[in-house]
Amino acid sequence: MSDPIKSNALIVNGLRLFLPRFVLNVGGSATNYLDDGEPHLVAPGKAGVRTKPLTTFVLHETGGNTEVGAERSMQQNHLGVHLLLDVDGSISCYADLATEVCWHAGQANGISVGMEVVNEYRPEFLRDPHGPVIPAEWWTWVPKGMRPEYVCPTNIQMRVADALIPWLCGQLGIPYAFPLANINKKKPRITGWRSPIKGGWWAKPPAGVVPHAAFSGHADGWYMHNMLLTESNR
């Protein structure tokens, strides 16, 4: 049986925003919750309505190896993101990028679009097609007996992200900028952030493209952030 035809559209302001040819040409494709049966992972009730200016694009990584696993985890934990980039370059759209809020970034939910990259970034769980494994200076917590290493996303994920994110930021009015480029990699958190364990986490990230790890207790997003920054400077 052949694969179903994909809409290749994201949802923005209630309308279909079709992927441009240059995203399709690097292997991208898209499905959404209106046309293709993707789950609608918007925050409940009034919390799901965007009322603040959209300023920030947040890069996440799932910490798992499959889209299905990521969707199940978000649904079970009443969380969501606007987009998910799978290992084969396909993009799932779970909410309206402009008008709906997803619970993915704590204090930044209301001002941001979130994208999960399917990647189990811990080397002890490495599976094809991910890799290689590289040193990760941004790790601030490493399990006992483990080294600060990181499993890279797939090549096609990187190509699609490099084509998709600058275009999408332009469509949404988000600056395609990297305001945390010069952050201290040994203590990679934004000024004013505190661990929830220590009583607070409410510093918000600046406008632009930011890794989730910069304002949370996680380690996700730094590698893709740094690679996008490098490509933007060429």
Residue 141 sits in a domain of what CATH number? 3.40.80.10
- For residue 4, being part of any structural domain is answered with no
Answer yes or no: is 54 within a domain: yes
pTM of the model: 0.93
Cα Rg of the chain (Å, integer): 17
Domain boundaries, position 163: 9-232
- pLDDT tens, position by position, 192-225: 665 555 555 577 888 999 999 888 877 789 999 9
The answer to whether position 62 is within a domain reads: yes
Question: Does residue 3 sit within a domain?
Answer: no
Q: Is residue 174 part of a domain?
A: yes
- List the single range of 31-35, 81-85, 95-99, 128-132 with lowest mean pLDDT: 128-132
Distances (CA, A) of 11 to 38, 59, 94, 135, 234: 12, 19, 9, 37, 30
User: Is residue 1 in some structural domain?
Assistant: no
In this structure, is residue 37 part of a structural domain?
A: yes
Single-letter amino acid, residue 171: Q
How would you write 34-89 as a 3-class SS string? CCCCCCCCCCCHHHHECCCCCCEEEEEECCCCCHHHHHHHHHHCCCCCCEEECCCC
* Domain count for the chain: 1
3-state secondary structure of 171: helix
Range scoring the smallest mean pLDDT among 1-10, 88-97, 121-130, 223-232: 1-10
Does the residue 84 lie in any domain? yes
